[in-house]
Structure 1
Amino acid sequence: MFESTTQVRVRYGETDQMGYVYYGNYAMYYEVGRVESLRSLGLSYKELEDMGVMMPVLEHRSKYIAPGKYDELLTIKVKIPSLPGVRIRFEYEIYNEQDKLINIGETTLVFVDMQSNKPCRMPEVMEKLLAPYFND
């Protein structure tokens, strides 16, 4: 299993009148986690797109446990629990500054060939980078 961690600080514009993170912004935090997890692996979204592969979101789930608050530094833990094929699943845990779990989620994305606009297998370069994490 591949795991990574990144952090984001909650900005004022990401909160509602109560000073809590607006629920829709968790999808953005998931994206930050995904992008940075791939970057830590050694491959950026931009490089994937330059190879002619995009990764649209197919499914999104989120469970809100406690509110994130304005100016908190949130920790986003990202896992890729299984070696991807045509689809890739990411799991997320978001923690507040007190290391309290405030949100869990999951997204499934699909690899799409940008020329044909059809699903395709994960690029070989990405498979080589992920393979060591799944040698069970």
Structure 2
Amino acid sequence: MFIFKTHIRVRYAETDQMGYVYYGNYASYYEVARVEMLRSLGTSYKEMEDRRIMMPVLELSSKYLKPARYDELITIKVSIPEKPSLRIKFKYELFNERQELINIGETTLVFIDMNKSKPCLPPMDFQDKLAIYFGENT
């Protein structure tokens, strides 16, 4: 399993009238975590798209445990729990500044060959970078 942590500060525009992060913004937080995780592995969405591979979201789930509030620094822990194939699953845990778990979520993305408009395997170098986290030798 590969695990990565990043942080995001809640902006005023992301909150509702109660001062809580609006529920729809959690999907954006998940995306921030995914993008930074990929960057930590030495790749990016842009690089994937330059290689003619896109990664649309196929599924998303989110469970709200406690509210996040304006100006809090949120820690987002994102993991890849299983070796990617045509699909890649991400799990998220969000913590407030008191290290309380406030949200859990999952997304499943699919690798799509943009030239063929069909699912494909991730690039081999991406697979190689993840192999050590799933007990494989490269």
> TM class, shorter-chain normalised?
over 0.9
Paired AA for residue 47 in structure 2: E
User: In the aligned structure 2, how far is the partner of 1:117 from the partner of 1:13?
Assistant: 36
The unaligned stretches of length 5 or more in structure 1 are: none
User: In the aligned structure 1, how far is the partner of 2:41 from the partner of 2:133?
Assistant: 11
Q: Deviation of residue 41 (structure 1)?
A: 1.1
User: In the aligned structure 1, how far is the partner of 2:42 from the partner of 2:96?
Assistant: 27
Q: Deviation of residue 39 (structure 1)?
A: 0.6
The unaligned stretches of length 5 or more in structure 2 are: none
> Considering only aligned residues, what root-mean-square deviation do their CA atoms show, in Å?
0.8
1:70 equivalent in alignment to 2:64: no
User: In the aligned structure 2, how far is the partner of 1:26 from the partner of 1:117?
Assistant: 29
1:4 equivalent in alignment to 2:9: no
Match of 1:89 in 2: 89
User: In the aligned structure 1, how far is the partner of 2:93 from the partner of 2:121?
Assistant: 27
Q: TM-score, normalised by structure 1?
A: 0.98
Paired AA for residue 131 in structure 1: A
Q: Deviation of residue 42 (structure 1)?
A: 1.1
1:103 equivalent in alignment to 2:103: yes
After TM superposition, the structure 1 = structure 2 runs for residues 1-136 of structure 1, keeping only pairs within 5 Å, are 1-135=1-135
Structure 1 vs Structure 2: percent identity of aligned residues?
A: 65
Q: Deviation of residue 122 (structure 1)?
A: 1.3
Paired AA for residue 47 in structure 1: E
Q: Deviation of residue 123 (structure 1)?
A: 1.1
SS of 1:27's partner is helix
Deviation per residue, 1:72-116 (Å, 9 max, x gap)? 000000000011000000000000011000000000000001111
Deviation per residue, 1:28-73 (Å, 9 max, x gap)? 0000000001111111111111111000000000000000000000
Paired AA for residue 32 in structure 2: V
